[in-house]
Structure 1
């Protein structure tokens, strides 16, 4: 968990990050020192080979200070997990000096092209929405080549950054466009995308590197929204405990305010429970299609609960609380931006969950039906 000074620094720069559309140098330094980038790095390179449960707590705590900082830190951890599936020589090139290497990525959808070259590939392309690209030291990009889609690790100095990020929420993530022009990538800095998403199968591989990306992807993406919603509730509660202008009576004398408190706090608590269960599953339970689908469902439902909670808080809060430059406004925008991410969309997740669970239960239902005749 980040130290109090680190959280204080992150919180101090939250408004500035939203306005500047990037994280301050001091925030990048604090996040790096806190160990986000090394969370899933293999121990042989000095990393933590950490658990998803610990990352969920750390990212949610960070998001109470700044959602954008939490989002970028979460992705540094996630991308370190992906880079751990590169050949060992490639891992050594990235982490041979330090495990605290900041890695951005643009994997879905694949873009650009990769052409065979002596000892590797020549990679060219443009990838949008690359979070934290301005402070990255390496960038993972996915591009098609003759045998399929591969992921290529490119040093930051070979990547041009186009200032294109101007979204409603998560503005401080600096998710600009990355351009690579005919960069040479050796074999040891590349891995098939399908292998990266499936997880490694080398004997003795750490749990965090062997599970499929979809098992934990949703809960990691949702973690910043959990912290942001908790902070929004704290701000709103301070307002609700205060007195209304004119009447001098507490805002919570209103039945609507009390109902908002009950529902919003319950939704945020429920989302936290769903994410914590999903993280525990990702850390410990045998992996199968039903487990993956269940985790995807829990993350998507948690995102919807969190968006509903901040909606209620935003609608019920007073005019000053909804000020355009205020913290509640920023948190509301951030949570909705997180919830709109493709990984957290409920419709495809619900389809996958129905397919995995109903198909798995079909033989048992058929057998039970036969016995009842």
Structure 2
């Protein structure tokens, strides 16, 4: 059994990864994928191992430790933070596989890069000892840098039908070049293709077990968390960092206007609109950070009931909305200069809005889920 590694992510290594991500951000966006020069320090910082069980040398870490680390990367490059956050998250989901399957995935160590396709876009048919899987899964972020993928398929076992997650090695799947979106361009969220690949039972788990947080031989709280209680945090954490990055760059662009004399002097510039923009955007970002920190505290504390699960989803979606509003305000007030291709501000703006539009951060579904969980929709006399 590998020795347990230090708690990850390492602050010094995170700082180095963030600096590297900033250096390559423009080139990565142009190439529509993260280069090895960015992926390597992210893995070295401990993101992939963060939720890997200790028995495989992982950190079995906490969400409150992961949140600021992902946000720190996001201040430099949202796509790099998105990759880091998902690398950690998919590792946590893979810990729900049977123990033999886990051993196969992490036989080369806990830093093995995993990617996930959470939508049930393919099919799995029961065969002796496992499943025969085919289909196409779009929007698989970081797929070019992956060693394994965890895909969700519509499984058929005789009369029984249920979604299942199945782990497949890189040699088993092809990649379709399909990612041409306006934001999060460097995530390389291309299409994963499987054509009749056989996956043994040891590398398969029912979606219901992930939703319930039923990881086999679970020793750490992170492996007993219902999937819906934590997944919004995975998506919103990179946006928190990106909004902070946007505010930093906006402050640089607006420095002279913020320092202008008061408008009481005839002909002087009025700095008050910039002061208001700064205060409101900074406040919205701080509010989102507080919401996400509460989500992390809840999932780390265990005993996550349906109401807390639903509230976590609401908090993550609301945080994403606040962050998008803040960055919208910053871009609008920056003038033509902030919209230049050479200014990182417009990249952060595209990235935050693209991330906030993810299906996992949409407000109506989580609002409805919270109302149902809390009994607000119960009309029984």
State TM-score, norm by structure 2. 0.90
Cα distance in 1 between the residues matched to 2:46 and 2:77: 17
1:228 and 1:127 map into 2 onto residues whose CA distance is 27
Q: For this pair of structures, how many residues does the alignment match? A: 361
Which of these residues, 314, 321, 333, is aligned with residue 297 of structure 1? 314
**Among candidates 131, 142, 145, match of residue 155 of structure 2:** 145
Which whole-Å deviations, capped at 9, do the CAs of 1:201-230 have from their partners, x for residues lacking one?
A: 656532101110111111221001100000
Q: How far apart in 1 are the matches of 2:217 and 2:86?
A: 26
Asked if structure 2 preserves the Cα contact closer than 8 Å seen for 1:122 and 1:185, the reply is: yes
Q: Is 1:100 matched with 2:114?
A: no
- Structure 1's unaligned 5+ residue stretches are 367-373
Cross-structure match for 1:111: 121
**Are 2:261 and 2:270, in contact at CA under 8 Å, matched by a contact in 1?**
no
Q: Is the CA contact (8 Å cut-off) linking 2:257 and 2:271 kept in structure 1?
A: no
| Residue of 273, 287, 290 corresponding to 1:273 | 290
Equivalents in 1 of 2:296, 2:270: separation in Å? Answer: 39
Counterpart in 2 of 1:26? Answer: 37
Task: Tell me the distance in 2 between the aligned counterparts of 1:165 and 1:44.
Answer: 36
User: Where in structure 2 are there 5+ consecutive unaligned residues?
Assistant: 1-10
Q: Which of 34, 43, 52 lines up with 1:41 in the alignment? A: 52
Alignment of 1:1-373 (within 5 A): 1=11, 2-108=13-119, 110-146=120-156, 147=160, 148-200=162-214, 202=216, 205-242=219-256, 253-359=270-376
Given that 2:149 and 2:170 are in contact with CA atoms closer than 8 Å, whether structure 1 keeps it comes out as yes
- Alignment CA distance shift 1:24-1:135 (3 Å): same
State the Cα distance separating 1:252 from its structure 2 match: 8.1
Residue 242 of structure 1 aligns to a residue in which SS?
Answer: helix
CA shift digits 1:280-336 (9 cap, x unpaired): 011015211111111111111111100000010000013212213420010000000
Following the alignment from structure 2 to structure 1, what is the Cα–Cα distance between the partners of residues 103 and 290? 38
Aligned Cα root-mean-square deviation (Å)? 2.1
Query: Residues 96 and 216 of structure 2 are in contact (CA less than 8 Å); yes or no, is this contact kept in structure 1?
Result: no
Query: TM-score w.r.t. structure 1 length?
Result: 0.92
Greater CA drift, 29-38 or 110-119: 110-119
